[in-house]
A and B are shown apart, each in its own frame.
Chain A
Amino acid sequence: MGFLKGLANSIADPRLFFLLAVGALLLAVWKRETVASNGVGYGLLGFLGLFFLFGTFDANFRLIVTKPDNVPIVGLIFLLLFFVWYSIREGVLNDRRIAAGNGPIEKAESDRVWVWPDLVYTELISLILCSVVLIVWSIFLKAPLEQPANPANTPNPSKAPWYFLGLQEMLVYFDPWLAGVVLPSLIIVGLICIPYIDKNPKGNGYYTFVERKAEITIFLFGFAVLWASLIVLGTFLRGPNWNFFGPFEFWDIHKLAALTNVDLSEYIWVRGLRTGLPQQWYIREIFGILLVLFYVFALPVILAKGLFKTYYEKLGAPRYYVATFLFLMMMSLPMKMLARWIFNLKYIVHISEFFFNI
């Protein structure tokens, strides 16, 4: 029992948790033929269910999971796992049909049915079921109400509403102007851009994986790994002082976490060149600035000639550069995370004179 809890606590460590999530996604995509079987899907759900059942016997686990506002996120974990699995499964089933020359199942179902009664009754039944679920949920779980607002008493941890906890988790790696303003704006812009960037005419109106490998993998990475799993991390595994706590760990307010993060400029000037940090910011941060400029402006051009050559030719310059910019911005988060975990890197560019830290 104690061993299992310890194991769960160590797996939940952000580094391992994130790498496992990435690994699980790649495995699901790679071994999708196996993943598509009912055994795997319901087995995963059952395992997750058992884990939560097992967890409820632990006081610390129960405390964090049954916090009223966290209950929907428990539901979200199950729903997300199910629907990610289900959409991959539907894609695989359709891919088999397409490979056999039958076309997707939606093609076979393209004849028309009457909206009355087929659709309106489906809607009525969904509406009734949804109302029942909502009412039962409301009867058994009271909405939270804490002490009256007191600006002088800051709770520790202070958490944003749950759907923004992925962004709050990003604050560990980026300053607020990036994590709270620029990157969220880019998420919105990027989502809007998707249909205008994606020129692939296939896979329109039916589940498939083979016909849209890159799009689906990138979207799953952004949605399931970055967005959703960071929300889960921020909700259940971040305690006082935003320190990491395993699901079976007591939220000890005095837990110490070593803060030995080092700027890139210090790495180069102090540790590499063995001199002091230069006075002027533009000399001090020149390497970081060059690195960022390279990442944003030069890397897309280099990729267009190399790794992404086929995409450049398929999409054309404007679509390619917008897509690559958005992709690199998305990848900046996992890259900064890795840099933090491996090198304890704090800032790539650190110009506190202008609040300009990357």
Chain B
Amino acid sequence: MADTKIVAPKEGPATQFWNWLTETQVWTSVFRHDRPNTDRNRVLVMLSNVFLHLHPVRIRKSGVKLRYTWCMGGLTFFLFLSLTLTGLLLMFYYRPTLEYAYTDIVGLREHVPLGIMREMHRWGAHAMVITVWLHMFRVFMTGSYKPPREFNWSVGVIMLVLTLLLSFTGYLLPWDQLAIWAITVGSNMARATPFLGHEGPGAQLLRLGDVPLIHAADDARFALLGGTFVGEGALLRFYVLHCVGLPLVIAVLMAVHFWRVRKDGGISGPM
């Protein structure tokens, strides 16, 4: 036995470096497990990483197939993250006032060489609406809303509405002709809300003697726009909702949605 020599296979410099790196004190303090090349470590990598632990450790084979999922839910989430990032950067350069809103957008276009943040934000937003629809379409066509996932479908429908509202509120912010008239057309609908819009059926019935309770300056549209037309009040309102209010709500609902995917038995599949 004394003569036997164990010869380790020759490893390339990259592998040697990788092996050295993953054994340093810094690395092992960040990742509390060995490289994920054994079953045990594949479990540990999922359980010990706060981002990865949204996932289960193992998943149905059909659940990783594009054939089945179309990846639309994942793309929606990724687009949301990308919109958060590009939106944050845009907020540095944009002031939501009648005086500056339009010129700030012009500035972004004219003064930033090769700038594509606004493009990425706008096209990402359009793409997100489409991926949300296709995700819901896939969920419907695979019957994945059926028990036990009924509630998560409902949460998803609310997020669909929030996605549309996020896109709608963002549409106003460039403050060009396209923006205010699209929002004017859209918000004019609120005038006709039954009972709560001043041109809606039943609104005339809500009156104290001769004093109408619902008129142009206090109806549903006024609440939406902060005014009787799309002006300064609407711009600020839409800005705050777009950048703070709606993202907060949808982030909470996303947490609920992902949590429930796990709690309702992971990705859907035949019983």
Interface residues of chain A, those whose CB is within 8 Å of chain B, are: 69, 72, 75-76, 79-80, 83, 87, 90-91, 103-107, 109-120, 122-123, 126-127, 130-131, 134-135, 137-139, 141-151, 153-155, 158-164, 167-168, 175-177, 179-182, 188, 191-192, 194-196, 198, 200-208, 212, 216, 219, 223, 354-356
Contacts of A104 in B (CB 8 A): 270
Which of B62, B127, B189 contacts A109, CB < 8 Å?
B62
Interface residues of B in 138-187 (CB under 8 A from A): 138, 140-147, 149-150, 153-154, 157-158, 160-161, 164, 167-168, 171, 174-182, 184-186
* CB of B246, distance to nearest CB on chain A (Å): 15
Contacts of A206 in B (CB 8 A): 62, 142-143, 269-270
Please, which residue of chain B has its CB at the minimum distance from the CB of A168?
B185
Given A126-B75, A138-B123, A355-B201, 13 other A-B contacts at CB below 8 A?
Answer: A83-B138, A109-B61, A112-B61, A120-B52, A122-B71, A134-B79, A143-B122, A147-B176, A149-B176, A155-B177, A167-B189, A180-B188, A180-B190
With an 8 A cutoff between CB atoms, is B78 at the interface? yes
Assess the A120–B55 pair: CB atoms within 8 A: yes
Say yes or no: A69-B178 contact (C-beta < 8 A), given A168-B185, A177-B194: yes
Say yes or no: A83-B201 contact (C-beta < 8 A), given A112-B58, A143-B119, A212-B143: no
Q: Count contacts between A and B, CB distance < 8 Å.
A: 271
Assess the A122–B168 pair: CB atoms within 8 A: no
With an 8 A cutoff between CB atoms, is B225 at the interface? no
Interface residues of chain B, those whose CB is within 8 Å of chain A, are: 36, 39, 42, 45-46, 52, 55-68, 70-71, 74-75, 78-79, 82, 102, 105-106, 109, 116, 118-124, 126-127, 129-130, 133-134, 137-138, 140-147, 149-150, 153-154, 157-158, 160-161, 164, 167-168, 171, 174-182, 184-186, 188-194, 197, 199-205, 229-231, 268-271
Please, which residue of chain B has its CB at the minimum distance from the CB of A202?
B143
Contacts of A198 in B (CB 8 A): 145-146
Assess the B62–A106 pair: CB atoms within 8 A: yes
Assess the A149–B143 pair: CB atoms within 8 A: no
Q: A289 to B133, alpha carbons, bound, how many Å?
A: 36
Q: A198 to B184, alpha carbons, bound, how many Å?
A: 38
Q: A208 to B143, alpha carbons, bound, how many Å?
A: 9
Q: A139 to B123, alpha carbons, bound, how many Å?
A: 11
* CB of A262, distance to nearest CB on chain B (Å): 21
Q: A103 to B92, alpha carbons, bound, how many Å?
A: 55
Contacts of B204 in A (CB 8 A): 354-355
Q: A321 to B126, alpha carbons, bound, how many Å?
A: 36
Closest 8 CB pairs of A and B: A180-B189, A138-B119, A195-B150, A176-B192, A177-B192, A112-B58, A109-B62, A205-B268
Which of A117, A137, A149 has most B Cβ within 10 Å? A149
Assess the B144–A153 pair: CB atoms within 8 A: no
Contacts of B123 in A (CB 8 A): 72, 134, 137-138, 141, 143
* CB of A281, distance to nearest CB on chain B (Å): 12
Which of A149, A153, A175, A196 contacts B179, CB < 8 Å?
A149
Q: A62 to B85, alpha carbons, bound, how many Å?
A: 33
Assess the B61–A110 pair: CB atoms within 8 A: yes
Which of A79, A200, A355 contacts B192, CB < 8 Å?
A355
Say yes or no: A134-B141 contact (C-beta < 8 A), given A115-B56, A119-B59, A176-B189: no
Which of A115, A177, A204, A356 contacts B146, CB < 8 Å?
A204
Assess the A114–B178 pair: CB atoms within 8 A: no
Contacts of A109 in B (CB 8 A): 60-62, 65, 68, 269
Q: A127 to B36, alpha carbons, bound, how many Å?
A: 21
Contacts of B130 in A (CB 8 A): 72, 75-76, 79
